[in-house]
Amino acid sequence: MSNLVDIASRPLMHVWGDTVKARRIEGERITLAVVELARDSVVPGHQHENEQLGMVITGSVTFTIGDETRQLGPGGTWRIPSNVYHGVTTGPEGAVVIDIFAPARRDWDALPTQDDVPPIWP
């Protein structure tokens, strides 16, 4: 893969069925993803080895990280340490967020993908 890529040209991955989809750029030790969350969707509580940072671009999400819950709109950020339980729900307009994971999300390699699907963000 080239070192200079338009993320909109990357395949759309079905992370959680049709409600959570993402496009990613992979580094050797890090993943950058633009994630599209459908309106009123739920990402069930889970945990993973990957440390995760993120930010809301459009829409709103309610994040629970450990025992802390907060609603976030555009510009709202999160930090999820490795192996900390977390989950998220979206509001009625859904959301587009950026997620960064370290180490890289190699478990996403097995996800179903679609090519030539335009993004819902500009």
- d(C-alpha 17, C-alpha 111), whole Å: 10
Integer CA distances (angstroms), 53 to 5, 38, 67, in order: 21, 20, 17
pLDDT at 122: 81
Share of the chain above pLDDT 90, in %: 98
Of 13, 89, 85, whose CA–CA distance to 48 is shortest? Answer: 85
Q: Give per-residue pLDDT as tens, 75-115.
A: 999 999 999 999 999 999 999 999 999 999 999 999 999 99
- Structural domain count, the chain: 1
Range of the domain at 75: 10-106
- d(C-alpha 75, C-alpha 60), whole Å: 10
Q: Give per-residue pLDDT as tens, 39-64.
A: 999 999 999 999 999 999 999 999 99
- d(C-alpha 116, C-alpha 113), whole Å: 10
Residue 118 counted as domain residue: no
Q: Give per-residue pLDDT as tens, 3-32.
A: 999 999 999 999 999 999 999 999 999 999
Residue 114 counted as domain residue: no
